[in-house]
């Protein structure tokens, strides 16, 4: 078990900071301080190892999100798009900022999987089951909106969440400031931005008989 965890830790880091193609199995074995054959023995191909590196933290992240949503639903508070997005975004953002270097590396892996269609199967297996629950909850708030439009705004919002973890230095660079704000300092702004965009797009659209969406 210890050897498997060392391999996954090494793979997670190298895949995150070098990219899938540049991270070799030999480099992963070297960083994990294990023999090259052990990597193949435990995880098979490089693609299988990448899947396991992504899958390892996905279940924990999904459970944190679903628990937050359950608490919202049983709290008696009004369910708004802002509240639903907080349940989905905040567990990820908290782990990325406070969960240690491995969770920061994992945030980059999530960004990689989300950005490239070749990892569609990984995204569908690791993230979509929980994400679709949140998508359905948002769709219930906008019953007149077409589901594809709801999905589009949700994906756009997720991209913004990932950007906060991986590219927030650009905020200061564009503003000519020298230090990077924390995730915690910007997460409320993220919710405001995402919720306003979703609300504007979904409130101004309605479904037609042929499935098209009209303003």
- Tell me, what's the pLDDT at 178? 79
DSSP line for 148-203: HHHHHHHHHHHHHHHHHHHSTHHHHHHTT-SSPPPHHHHHHHHHHHHHHHHHHHHH
13-58: per-residue pLDDT in tens?
A: 999 999 999 999 999 999 999 999 999 999 999 999 999 999 999 9
The Cα-based distances of 80 to 19, 108, 139 in angstroms read 37, 29, 11
122-157: per-residue pLDDT in tens?
A: 999 999 999 999 999 999 999 999 999 999 999 999
For the chain, domains (ranges, CATH) are 1-44 (1.10.10.60), 55-207 (1.10.357.10)
Q: What is the mean pLDDT of residues 54-68?
A: 96
Q: What is the mean pLDDT of residues 108-132?
A: 94
72-98: per-residue pLDDT in tens?
A: 999 999 999 999 999 999 999 999 999
pLDDT band at 207 (very low <50, low <70, confident <90, very high): low
- Tell me, what's the pLDDT at 205? 63
- pTM of the predicted model as reported, rounded to 2 decimal places: 0.88
166-191: per-residue pLDDT in tens?
A: 888 888 889 888 777 899 999 999 99
Contact 206, 213 (CB under 8 A): yes
């Amino acid at each position: 078990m210890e050897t498997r965890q060392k391999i996954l830790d090494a793979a997670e880091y190298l895949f995150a900071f070098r990219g899938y193609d540049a991270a070799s199995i030999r480099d992963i074995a070297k960083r994990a301080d294990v023999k090259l054959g052990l990597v193949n023995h435990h995880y098979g191909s490089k693609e299988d190892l990448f899947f396991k590196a992504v899958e390892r933290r996905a279940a924990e992240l999904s459970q944190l999100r679903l628990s937050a949503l359950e608490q919202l639903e049983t709290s008696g508070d009004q369910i708004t798009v802002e509240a639903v997005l907080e349940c989905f975004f905040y567990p990820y953002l908290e782990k990325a900022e406070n969960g240690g270097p491995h969770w920061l590396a994992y945030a980059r892996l999530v960004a990689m999987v989300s950005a490239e269609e070749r990892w569609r199967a990984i995204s569908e297996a690791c993230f979509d089951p929980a994400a679709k629950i949140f998508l359905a909850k948002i769709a219930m708030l906008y019953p007149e909106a077409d589901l594809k439009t709801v999905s589009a705004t949700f994906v756009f919002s997720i991209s913004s969440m990932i950007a906060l973890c991986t590219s927030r230095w650009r905020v200061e660079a564009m503003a000519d400031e020298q230090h990077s704000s924390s995730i915690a300092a910007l997460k409320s702004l993220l919710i405001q931005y995402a919720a306003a965009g979703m609300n504007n797009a979904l409130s101004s659209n309605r479904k037609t008989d042929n499935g098209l969406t009209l303003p």
